[in-house]
Amino acid sequence: MWFTRVSLQNPVFATMVMLAIVVMGLFSYQRLKVDQFPNIDFPVVVISTEYPGASPEIVESEVSKKIEEGVNSIAGISALTSRSYENQSLVIIEFQLHIDGRKAAEDVREKVASLRPLLRTEVKEPRVLRFDPASRAVWSLAVIPEGNKLNAVELTNWSEQVLKKRLENVRGVGSVTMVGGSKREINLYLQPANMEALGITAEQVVAAVRNENQDLPVGAIRSLQQERAVQISSRMARPEDFGRIIVARKNGTPIRLSQVATVQDGAQELENLALYNGQRTLLMSVQKSQDENTIQVVDGLVKAVVDMHGPTCPRASGSSPSPTTLAPSVCRSTTCAKP
């Protein structure tokens, strides 16, 4: 062969070519992207629909069956299944492998849009999602306060305002999802006996709170020299201000919210819960951006946590699905720190 002949006649040239190939290989290897799954297009589309306050039986009859009957006419479907839960419906559509996933999702969106008038007004707008294995979380963080320094609401506020923002700034991070948090909420507990005695209904209380606790734009005051915007700032600044809201007037006497309800500054009702070794925690799941190196993203996340809370905790290894812990008292082989 000509290459063998040239190499024998020019050994220095052949050596330089081989060294160039080795250098290029090492250069490419260092920049080789690593991912948990290959980039494969799965033609699977999921339709998620929320129906607040509905039982699984009603969700099935009013939402799931109607969506199934509507999307069943789309070409290329190999399997169609649905799951009806309390307040939510999931319809899973599996297309044949030769169908393009993006086109399948567009066809489903068009069909769902035509079905929307058939659903009740209480049903929220259906969401059409494509199944993507790369969208799963690559790193998890379990936030556990040390001792009883922070309650659930304070821990959630710190995690959302400080820790979550820091993780989102790491290069390659697509989104950070928080599970098991308890946000602050002003709870109003009605007193039926007092309401009946004063002739107040629950609808009146809801209307009064909604109308009084809001900022409203009034308009603008214009002159030849300037223009000023005018608005009414009537949002409650403190929890005790809710008790002063006037619900109704009886014979000219105002009836305030404190007379028919108890105002409590607490936490919102739990909709999800995260546990770590049987202890309640706050779980933060991180998804990487598309085409990013999984190992580099995880290393950046671990470094961000260590930089926030000092080098007193061991370094997390790889992108293990087990949650990283923010508490030295329960730290095992993952990164830990104190809020």
Q: What is the CATH number of the domain that holds 284?
A: 3.30.70.1320
Confidence of residue 82 (pLDDT cuts 50, 70, 90): very high
Instruction: Print the domain residue range for 111.
Output: 44-133
> Do residues 314 and 335 make contact, with C-beta atoms less than 8 angstroms apart?
yes
156-192 residue pLDDT tens: 888 888 888 999 899 888 888 888 888 888 888 899 9
What pTM, to 2 d.p., does this model score? 0.60
237 found inside a domain: yes
Domain end, chosen from 68, 101, 133, is at 133
SS3 314: coil
User: Torsion angle of alpha carbons 69, 71, 76, 77, nearest 10°?
Assistant: -60
- Which runs of consecutive H residues, i.e. helices, occur in the chain? 2-9, 11-30, 56-59, 65-71, 101-115, 152-158, 164-168, 192-198, 202-212, 257-260, 294-309
More confident residue, 111 or 318: 111
> Do residues 48 and 88 make contact, with C-beta atoms less than 8 angstroms apart?
yes
| pLDDT greater than 90 at residue 93 | yes
Q: Are residues 58 and 117 in the same domain?
A: yes
Q: Are residues 129 and 168 in the same domain?
A: no
Q: Are residues 153 and 85 in the same domain?
A: no
Tell me the backbone φ, ψ of residue 230, rounded to 5 degrees: -120, 130
Q: Are residues 312 and 172 in the same domain?
A: yes
Distance CA 285, CA 139 (A): 6
Q: Are residues 172 and 190 in the same domain?
A: no
211-247 residue pLDDT tens: 888 777 778 888 888 888 887 777 788 888 888 888 8
Distance CA 120, CA 67 (A): 12
| pLDDT greater than 50 at residue 330 | no
Exposed/middle/buried for residue 311 (C-beta within 10 Å: 0-12, 13-18, 19+) = exposed
Confidence of residue 315 (pLDDT cuts 50, 70, 90): very low
What number of H helices and E strands is found in the chain? 11, 15
49-60 residue pLDDT tens: 999 988 999 999
Contacting residues for 253 by C-beta, under 8 A, at least 6 apart:
none
Which pLDDT score is estimated for 147? 67
18 found inside a domain: no
Tell me the backbone φ, ψ of residue 128, rounded to 5 degrees: -105, 120
H/E segment holding residue 283: strand 279-288
For the chain, the domain total comes to 3
Exposed/middle/buried for residue 105 (C-beta within 10 Å: 0-12, 13-18, 19+) = buried
26 found inside a domain: no
CATH number, domain containing residue 101: 3.30.70.1430
